[in-house]
Structure 1
Amino acid sequence: MAAAKVMATVAASNTATAALLFRGPLRRSHGFSLGLNCNSNGLAPKRRLFTCRALYKPEVQIKEEGQPETLDYRVFLVENSGKKVSPWHDIPLHLGDGVFNCIVEIPKETSAKMEVATDEAHTPIKQDTKKGKLRYYPYNINWNYGLLPQTWEDPSFANPEVEGASGDNDPVDVVEIGETRGKIGQIMKVKPLAALAMIDEGELDWKIVAISLDDPRASLVNDVDDVEKHFPGTLTAIREWFRNYKIPDGKPANKFGLGNKPASKDFALKVITETNESWAKLVKRSIPSGELSLC
């Protein structure tokens, strides 16, 4: 695919602007990319987040197709023009100043196992199935649950920090602990606070604990210790929920790496950066995509 060079001036903060040079592959156009250099040879010594071919300041709507709790039900993100976009590939990850976009898949206090369909065009959100039947958690999840766009847990990478477990072939999961119940497909602006290294049947399935910037207590929590102070017991509850939710179905409990403890915000940011880099390699086809949809 031919490379293109586009110089665009974009907002770097509420009070300043910066020019970004995009040299990544433009497989399709959704306005200017927020991207840094998508070519690995052009990376600066300091690791940086990739956001190639993302919508800049995305203005999207949620569009439902089919009836909820049916096999045909899909939740799409669409531009004002009606064009469908991917919540996984087209929504930018990084918003600057440690803030990230998060796509809500499962609203808090619900049990339908909703997830991005990574093998379907435009990667809509659908209810997961097993043997042709819709899947539900055995009990409600107590937090908003979703994904970080433009991240990917590479199944070919055995992480030496987490017992050599390989990625689960999905975007990185987010557990948002704020008080407001989200909506399926909603884009939340969140800041990461901690990370849990869940190991599900040998696969590494990161859980990034975060909070919406709109939450009244968002300014009070900035790292893992703050969560315990202002949301006492929450990190333990999240770990135990994900450890045990498969037991009612007769499966063993999930395990956790990193000494069974939540890692710091800095570690969570490291996970986000690494999985964003893996996603960039995936969409460049530097890594085989298998059945994953890249559009």
Structure 2
Amino acid sequence: MAATRIMVSASNIGTSSSLLFKTAVSPSFKPQCLSFCFNNNTRLVSKKRAFTCSALYKPEIQIKEEGQPETLDYRVFFVDNSGKKVSPWHDIPLHVGDGAFNFIVEIPKESSAKMEVATDEIFTPIKQDTKKGKLRYYPYNINWNYGLLPQTWEDPSLANPEVDGAFGDNDPVDVVEIGESRGNVGQLVKVKPLGCLAMIDEGELDWKIVAISLDDPKASLVNDVDDVEKHFPGTLTAIRDWFRDYKIPDGKPANKFGLGNKAANKDYALKVITETNESWAKLVKRSTPAGELSLV
């Protein structure tokens, strides 16, 4: 009997998530789908979305691949337990209670393919970014799990007076997850924020929330930005330097950082999350023009 390739291991999610795998094995089976079942009966998508950080339910979703990795056609879709496609950006709740948030892995640590939620495609699947028709890769591996906070949006019409008047970058808020486990593309992880960096990329504000998985062995030891330096020495500097310099090999200038070029604390990170959640709410309620963004 042929062995199957499991996209996400139980150790990566953690036993606290009550993960159940739904796979079938046969000699001709080609694994394309993995179920995440969090033990409750609440549906992921309701007729009325909650447009604040108050959603406390845990979604039941499946990760479904279409196409082959490292091709222009490759997509990672999210589907609910009825088989209906849903948006990882719009339909997965931001808040999971007790100060924790849902984080969606786009780029696993120690990899270089520039994966991202396709904000302009229906159901906003994860795909590999392109430039001039070619797949994009970082010039070197990223050293942390990288992805987004659902139900957040950095409004490009809003100038932030605290960060050199920079406007939002028109994307969900990015997360740098510093735990020891390597994630998988599309993996849903419960994290707690520890701080944030205000990256300015070609004049656009691109927040980087520094967070840790609740299932990481050191999660109980780190609760704010000062704890990161104590238990993960050098990590904040390494994150800042990585994002400052990664475009230089392509001949572009280094990125800059606001807020004194330092990581702000947890309270500031929570402020950023709240404000960008509010911006997302205005977007999906069409109080703010969507442009080419998909709201489905």
The interval holding the TM-score normalised by the smaller chain is 0.7 to 0.9
- Find the aligned partners of 1:50 and 1:234 in 2 and give their Cα distance: 28
The Cα shift of 1:96 comes to 1.5
Q: Which 5+ residue runs of structure 2 have no aligned equivalent? A: 1-43
1:1-295 equivalence runs, <5 A = 30-31=45-46, 35=50, 38=51, 49-50=52-53, 56-295=57-296
The Cα shift of 1:79 comes to 1.2
- Find the aligned partners of 1:294 and 1:196 in 2 and give their Cα distance: 27
Specify the code of the residue in structure 2 equivalent to 1:209: V
- Find the aligned partners of 1:259 and 1:30 in 2 and give their Cα distance: 41
- Find the aligned partners of 1:189 and 1:210 in 2 and give their Cα distance: 10
| Aligned partner of residue 120 in structure 2, secondary structure | coil
- Find the aligned partners of 1:288 and 1:72 in 2 and give their Cα distance: 28
| Aligned partner of residue 76 in structure 2, secondary structure | strand
Specify the code of the residue in structure 1 equivalent to 2:123: H
Specify the code of the residue in structure 2 equivalent to 1:190: V
The Cα shift of 1:122 comes to 0.4
The Cα shift of 1:285 comes to 0.4
Specify the code of the residue in structure 1 equivalent to 2:172: P
Specify the code of the residue in structure 1 equivalent to 2:255: N
The Cα shift of 1:162 comes to 0.2
| Aligned partner of residue 88 in structure 1, secondary structure | coil
2:56 touches 2:95 (CA, 8 Å); kept in 1? no
The Cα shift of 1:34 comes to 7.1
- Find the aligned partners of 2:281 and 2:77 in 1 and give their Cα distance: 22
Specify the code of the residue in structure 1 equivalent to 2:46: G
The Cα shift of 1:191 comes to 0.1
Structure-2 residue corresponding to 1:13:
none
2:56 touches 2:96 (CA, 8 Å); kept in 1? no
- Find the aligned partners of 1:100 and 1:138 in 2 and give their Cα distance: 30
| Aligned partner of residue 236 in structure 2, secondary structure | helix
| Aligned partner of residue 193 in structure 1, secondary structure | strand
Specify the code of the residue in structure 1 equivalent to 2:244: R
1:31 touches 1:56 (CA, 8 Å); kept in 2? no
In the comparison of the two structures, how many residue pairs are matched?
253
| Aligned partner of residue 190 in structure 1, secondary structure | strand
- Find the aligned partners of 2:64 and 2:102 in 1 and give their Cα distance: 19
- Find the aligned partners of 2:56 and 2:49 in 1 and give their Cα distance: 7
The Cα shift of 1:50 comes to 3.8
| Aligned partner of residue 101 in structure 2, secondary structure | strand
User: Residue deviations 1:213-249, cap 9 Å, x none?
Assistant: 0100000000000000000000000000000000000
The Cα shift of 1:264 comes to 0.2
2:89 touches 2:151 (CA, 8 Å); kept in 1? yes
The Cα shift of 1:169 comes to 0.0
Specify the code of the residue in structure 2 equivalent to 1:261: K
- Find the aligned partners of 2:49 and 2:126 in 1 and give their Cα distance: 24
- Find the aligned partners of 1:140 and 1:227 in 2 and give their Cα distance: 21
User: Residue deviations 1:143-163, cap 9 Å, x none?
Assistant: 000000000000000000000
Bigger Cα displacement from structure 2, 273-282 vs 93-102: 93-102
2:191 touches 2:211 (CA, 8 Å); kept in 1? yes
The Cα shift of 1:212 comes to 0.2
| Aligned partner of residue 151 in structure 1, secondary structure | coil
Specify the code of the residue in structure 2 equivalent to 1:152: W
Distance 1:191 1:50, change over 3 A: closer
Moved over 4 A (4+): none
2:57 touches 2:96 (CA, 8 Å); kept in 1? no
Specify the code of the residue in structure 1 equivalent to 2:274: T
Instruction: Calculate percent identity across the aligned residue pairs.
Output: 85
Q: Which 5+ residue runs of structure 1 have no aligned equivalent? A: 1-28, 39-48
The Cα shift of 1:55 comes to 9.2
1:150 touches 1:280 (CA, 8 Å); kept in 2? yes
1:116 touches 1:124 (CA, 8 Å); kept in 2? yes
- Find the aligned partners of 1:192 and 1:55 in 2 and give their Cα distance: 17
RMSD between superposed Cα atoms in Å: 1.4
Specify the code of the residue in structure 2 equivalent to 1:31: S
- Find the aligned partners of 1:202 and 1:107 in 2 and give their Cα distance: 27
